[in-house]
Amino acid sequence: MPPACLPLLGGSDAGRVLAWRAGRALGVREFLAHVRQVAEMLPVRPAAVNLCVDRYAFTVAFCAAMLRGQVTLLPPSRAPRAVEEVMTLHAGAYALGEEEAPPGLAGYWRLPALGWAPPLAAGDGAYPQVPADQVVAIAYTSGSTGSPQPTPKTWASFHASTAGNLAMLHAALDGAPAILATVPPQHMYGVETSVLLPLLGGYAVHAGRPFFPADIALALAQLPTPRILVSTPVHLRALVDSGIGLPPLALLLSATAPLPLDLARAVEARFAAPLREVFGSTETCVFASRRATVSEEWQLYPGVTLEPQPDGTVVHAPQLAHGVRLADLMELSADGARFHLQGRNADLLEIAGKRASLGDLTQRLLAVPGVRDGVVFQLDTHDALGVQRIAALAVAPGLDESAVIEVLRQALDPVFLPRPLRVVAALPRNETGKLPRAALLAALHARSP
């Protein structure tokens, strides 16, 4: 049986640094003082959408809401429409943030300025306790394969998933690192790596979320060693292409999208640090990792088992109350501790008796000279013969649609040529680099300026 309550903070070092913000180290005692201050001020509501951009402010508000028994809602994005849709699904929900209210968003509560606060005295009680079975967050899937779906998270499940991430990190490096993340704290990958690791794992985190390569380098320089950079393939590609140098890194982490092997090699060569890719989902949290430059296989976290199915894989993990089925097709190793990813069931196509996968077709598109980014996806509608056709978006400066199609024609069976294919200035990626299906369809049918 799980314990009735679990601590809000992990470890026993009350003097440790939890965050670096505006060049200042913020310790655990000052953090707890901020949490208690905000908790006393929060509106009496059942749930809150945490829109904080500043990672320290997000963590303070997240913990304050938890202590008040409120659920933190994590929409698929911070776009006003996505926020409003989630708030509508939860009666009495409100939104909070440290900045001015977004235009047109009702029910917004602004976080007070988190200036200097008298740290709690060393003897001012133990760390706050939270009921293990309390639902502390409801995360919504990205919508890349359909409508966003809610996934409740208890405090016990977050403790369990963090233990898996800590086991992976402890095996990969020495010491308690400082984390810089380019992903938002609202995304589950961002929650796991830049909110829960500092809370429960004894790590420190940079409060910012730098976007441009020069800003990432500057933020890293503000952190002590060892340093971890938590990022995505999109941001890592931009870092490599920029040619900018970074302060010494102990490790890089990547998730949210497949990591091409050539990019993994380029990142490790450029920044002289190992790059680990983590595997998980909003529903499961992270449950496996690999170093792509060393092995194609994914190593499962302790206590994780998989059940391959014809249409996907059922995941069993310490953080899950029951098995969760993913659409990913996995081939287990003989000892059951590793797996090869074979694609997603939803990615498999059969047209005119011939088979292919959307992932492979996307890689063919990306291999076209001059194509910098691209995606192939299946349409919802059927043609006159009842075939569900495929379409594509490509970022290819200097090329037009016919030129890209002509190159693809040399590599693909005609039935798998994407029609339509549209050349665009940029793919409609969200904050973590994912491509929501609704945004893809909108971009495909948008009129040229």
Q: How confident is the model at residue 143 (pLDDT cuts 50, 70, 90)?
A: low
The pTM (predicted TM-score) of the whole model is 0.83
Which of 62-71, 336-345, 347-356, 403-412 is predicted with the least confidence, judged by mean pLDDT?
Answer: 347-356
Evaluated on CA atoms 186, 188, 190, 192, the torsion sign reads: positive
Span 72-123, pLDDT tens digits: 999 887 778 888 889 999 999 999 999 988 887 888 999 998 886 666 665 5
- What are the sequence ranges of the domains in the chain? 5-342, 352-445
Span 186-243, pLDDT tens digits: 999 999 999 999 999 999 999 999 999 999 999 999 999 999 999 998 899 899 999 9
Between 448 and 441, whose confidence is greater?
A: 441
- Check whether 313 has a pLDDT greater than 80: yes
Say whether the peptide bond before residue 226 is cis (omega within 30 degrees of 0): yes
Superfamily assignment of 5-342 in CATH? ANL, N-terminal domain (3.40.50.12780)
Which of 6-20, 128-142, 298-312 is predicted with the least confidence, judged by mean pLDDT?
Answer: 6-20
Q: How confident is the model at residue 350 (pLDDT cuts 50, 70, 90)?
A: low
Between 19 and 85, whose confidence is greater?
A: 19
Structure-token pair, residue 36: 């208690």
- Check whether 182 has a pLDDT greater than 80: yes
352-445 maps to CATH 3.40.50.720: no
State the burial class of residue 339 (Cβ atoms within 10 Å of its Cβ: 0-12, 13-18, 19+). Answer: buried
Region at 130 (left for phi over 0; alpha for psi -120 to 50; beta for the rest): beta
- Check whether 352 has a pLDDT greater than 80: no
